[in-house]
Structure 1
Amino acid sequence: MSCTTGFGINAYSRTWILTSAHCATAPDVAYQGVFAGGSGTTFNLMGGVTGESWEYDLILIDTPGFYRMFDGGPTTSNYKTVNGWGYHAANELVCQSGAASGVICDLRTGSSTNIVVSCSSPDSDGDCGYTIRGLIRTTQTSGNTAARAGDSGGPVFTLIGSTGVRAKGVVSAGGGSTMYFQDWADVIRLYNGYPRTP
């Protein structure tokens, strides 16, 4: 399954990378590669996955997390610096940066909700019919596509000036003008984890 890596986080006295639990299950191993794949593509080993919390769609990749995130189109080498984090706030405008979509902004947050994993889109193990709890629903304000397949696990953030971001959570699901993300409150509760900053 192709997904996106989220923020580097500090947890358990070291750094990791955060992503969505439906993308992998321990003891799976994560690799980095071009989203579209294809012949001749080189995939680099990242590390094993651990700390799975499937009920909240969060998991850790055992590889050093960094304080930068990709910013721009799916093949960009541009980045922004993670300068902090924040809790979910209703009616806030956030952005997401997925491997399939690149950066999509003007996603207006709503309330917390639970969703059931559809059997037409099962997780990496083929499991479906289970409930993911505490997701924040967002709607793209212009009706544009909010998230695509492959964006799962990517960072959700607000901007701090022109070069920085505030971590808000990670992409969990989406389609059409709707995107769901798991917010940072659950990252703290489950892992006592905070985004890596300079």
Structure 2
Amino acid sequence: MITAAPASLAFSEEGSGSKEEIPYSSSEKLPYGFTSLSALMKTQDTLDEFAHKLSSAAESIKDPGYSSVEISIKDRQVIAHWKGEPVAAVKKILENPPAGFSYKLLQAHYSHTELIAAQQKFVRQVLGDKNLNISGVYPLPDGNGLGVKYSGEEKAARNVGAVSAAKVSVKLNSGQKPHFTFGRYTDTSPYWGGAVYQTIRNNQAIWECSTAFPVKDANGKKLMLSAAHCVNQGDTVAVPTSYPTHKDPAKRKNVGVAVSSDMDHDTALLDMGSLGAKIYRGPAGSNASEAITGWSYTSVGDLLCTSGAASGEHCYGQVESVDTSMFASFPGSDELHSVEGLAWATSTTNSVLSAGGDSGGPVFNDYGSGIKAKGTTSMHSEIISCGATYSLNPNLQCSTDVYYLPMDFLLNRWGVDLITS
């Protein structure tokens, strides 16, 4: 639970329809020699859109050899992994990348269909065995087998039934057990992403998480994206009115309810009333903000930033895998559960990328004048010290990685549109 000092927010009274809007200016050093955020993100977006076009074509016509597609921002290249040769229609797309970009076609041992089937079988076996040493499984980006995350001794992991019985190659990836990322502080209407909210049951705040992005359903109803492990459908949602006295019922305000919660994918929708198309940026407690201008796809190789309520903003993470299944127990339960469809990103500098309290919060890309939504935070696994930056909260648990739900999946899952500025 957060024990940091209250955010120095300067908001107007609720109902006035406005907050003080303080623009955010990033000081992050750009990678790969880029000198502007807009050029970096334009390169990534172009590659992501081409990768999505290629993989969508392969899946729609059921190309039997399709395995995976990843990107290289540094090389301005899409890397396609195929078992054999692409069918003619897909190969035509691959051989015509956008001007100024290139492609590479590499052979894979397995098709995407084979790896997903093997992954699903692996998940069923781990859940059946209730093996707590295996923390996750994902198709390797090169199409040459499954990546398996484990904690403890490698010998013990190799003897796990799901590993030894796998009909595809398995690459073991040592790490720590995953943790859901529980929870700028005292948000007011219209509510923005990256802020603290509380789950209320029996008039008690049982934990805190982060808001992410506002969306609109087919009926025009505005809802806020967050994480399912934070709320059950029907839970009351509140925001603190002061910090750190957030445990006092007199210091919080009930603002809505969780209307939907999908545990299999760790995504939820909150009805919080009035929402704004902005997210909080900067360190924990910051009142700086940025407008949401759109959303972007996720590919292996992507760069991204996070901005959860507990630990604030962190750039850059880089996507290591997609279609990832992670094993964890939901709060209040000892039952092992799999969360499907996650993307996994790790810090490019081995520094903090997420922390406890950031669950449900924004994963995004910075364009220098507005941000694009990339997904919502679910969990993390590689625990490190938070360092002096978070000295006001000595119990905060930080991590060098983050698992998140990609934005295209979220919009399709809920049948909603992102609200933009």
TM-score (norm 1): 0.90
Q: Secondary structure at the match of 2:413?
A: helix
Q: Which structure features the higher share of strand residues? A: 1
Following TM superposition, by how much is the alpha carbon of 1:39 offset from its aligned partner in structure 2, in angstroms? 6.2
Asked whether 1:88 is paired with 2:314, we answer no
Which residue pairs with 1:136 in the alignment?
A: 343
Select which of 45, 57, 61 maps to 2:266: 57
Deviation string, structure 1 residues 162-183 (Cα, Å, up to 9, x no partner): x310001100001431110011
Superposition pairs of residues 33-182 of structure 1, within 5 angstroms: 33=240, 36-38=244-246, 42-63=251-272, 64-112=274-322, 113-118=324-329, 122-123=330-331, 125-126=332-333, 128-161=335-368, 163-175=369-381, 176-182=399-405
Q: 1:39 to 1:32 in 2, by over 3 A?
A: closer
Partner of 1:185: helix, strand, or coil? helix
Residues 93 and 35 from structure 1, CA distance in 2 versus in 1: closer, same or farther, beyond 3 angstroms?
Answer: farther
Q: Return closer, same or farther for 1:22/1:82 CA change in 2, 3 Å cut-off.
A: same
Tell me by how many angstroms 1:126 deviates: 3.2
Report the Cα distance in structure 1 between the residues aligned to 2:244 and 2:333, rounded to whole angstroms.
21
Q: Spell out, residue by residue over 1:129-148, the C-alpha distance to the aligned partner (whole angstroms, 9 max, x if none).
A: 11100100000011112211
Gaps of 5+ in 2: 1-206, 382-398
In the TM superposition, residue 46 of structure 1 has moved relative to its aligned partner by 2.2
After TM superposition, give the deviation of residue 191 of structure 1 in Å.
1.0
Task: In structure 2, give the amino acid aligned to 1:97.
Answer: S
SS of 1:32's equivalent in the other structure is strand
More helix by share: 2
Structure 2 contact 290–371 (Cα < 8 Å) conserved: yes
Residue 65 of structure 1 contacts residue 196 of structure 1 at CA under 8 Å; is this kept in 2?
no
Task: Tell me what 1:18 maps to.
Answer: 225
CA 1:39–1:107: 2 relative to 1, 3 Å: same
Whichever of the two has the greater Rg, that structure is 2
For 1:52, give the aligned amino acid.
S
Q: Match of 2:408? A: 185
Name the SS of the counterpart of 1:67 in structure 2: strand
Matching residue of 1:4 = 210
Q: Is the 8 A contact 2:246 2:252 kept in 1?
A: no
| Contact 1:2/1:35 (8 A) holds in 2 | no
Q: Distance in 2 between matches of 1:35 and 1:179?
A: 26
Measure the CA separation in 2 of the matches of 1:182 and 1:139. Answer: 15
**Aligned residues between the structures:** 193
CA contact (8 A) 1:46 1:61 kept: no
Other structure's SS at 1:117 match: strand
Q: In 2, Cα distance between the equivalents of 1:147 and 1:35? A: 21
Fraction of identical pairs, as percent: 25
What stretches of structure 1 of length at least 5 have no aligned partner?
none
Give the alignment's Cα RMSD to 1 decimal: 1.8
Residues 102 and 128 of structure 1: CA distance in aligned 2, closer, same or farther (over 3 Å):
farther
Find the aligned partners of 1:57 and 1:2 in 2 and give their Cα distance: 15
Would the alpha carbon gap of residues 24 and 133 (structure 1) be closer, same or farther in structure 2, given more than 3 Å must change?
A: same
Q: Deviations over 1:9-62 (max 9, x none)?
A: 112322111100000101111111267555667212221101211111110111
- Matches of 1:150 and 1:131 in 2, distance apart? 21
Distance 1:9 1:127 in 2: 32
Report the CA distance shift for 1:172/1:98 in structure 2 as closer, same or farther (over 3 A).
same
